[in-house]
Structures are given as C-alpha cells and as structure tokens.
Amino acid sequence: MLPGRTIQRAIGNNSFSSSQIMTVGFAHYSAEAGAMEPHQHAEEAIYVTDAKNGWVEYGPQKDRLENKAPLTSGMVLHVPEGEWHVFRYAEGGFVDIVFMYAQVM
C-alpha cells in the first residue's frame, strides 16, 4: 500500500524480479486506498488495464494540473519526465494500470 494506491512491483528494487535500472509494476487506484497526491518522477509509460469512471489529471506544477483525460481499458499513456500527474475516479470508480519507467525508487 502506498498513499492513494495499491502497488504490486514486478521488476525493480524490492520487486519480484530485481533490477537496478527499471521499474515495472501494477497499480490499483480506488477509495479503499485513499486519495492520491499529485506526483512526478522519471519518464513513464502506462497501460490502462481497466477503469471505471476514472481519469488522469496532469500539468506543469502540482497545483496546476490543467489537463484532464478520461481513462478506458487499453489506453497507453506517456508521461514525460517531471510532469505532475494524478489518477482520480468518481464515487464507486477505480483505475488499474501497468506502469514502466527507467528509474528504481
């Protein structure tokens, strides 16, 4: 559990398979995990495996998430390095993703 999400690490530091140069895992965002704070990190590729009434907000600053996009199963997202982003959902909704980035945190 991390604030706002449940994580399963597949590849990377403290993961099923160890790597010092990449991170791959699965994340579930829902009310059970609590609200997620906007965050930023290395360049990231995201595959949406499932979503119900979920979306991503992103922008240049933590308090300026000027863009919003609804999420559906099968979408691929590219998050540039350092871009602030957060996954959100309406009541009863959720977002499930596979995430990949070339950084071990």
Q: Where are the domains of the chain?
A: 6-101
State in words which class domain 6-101 has: mainly beta
Q: What is the structure's pLDDT at 102?
A: 87
Nearest to 8 by CA among 99, 105, 73: 99
- The pLDDT profile of the chain, 105 residues, written as one tens digit per residue, is 677 789 899 999 889 999 989 999 999 999 999 888 999 988 999 999 999 999 999 999 999 999 999 999 999 999 999 999 999 999 999 999 999 998 766
Residue 54 tokens, joined:
């979920």
Q: Is the dihedral of CA 81, 82, 83, 84 positive or negative?
A: positive
Cα separation, 33 vs 14, in Å, equals: 21
> How much is the pTM?
0.90
- pLDDT for the residue 5: 84
Q: Is 31 helix (H, G, I), strand (E, B) or coil?
A: helix
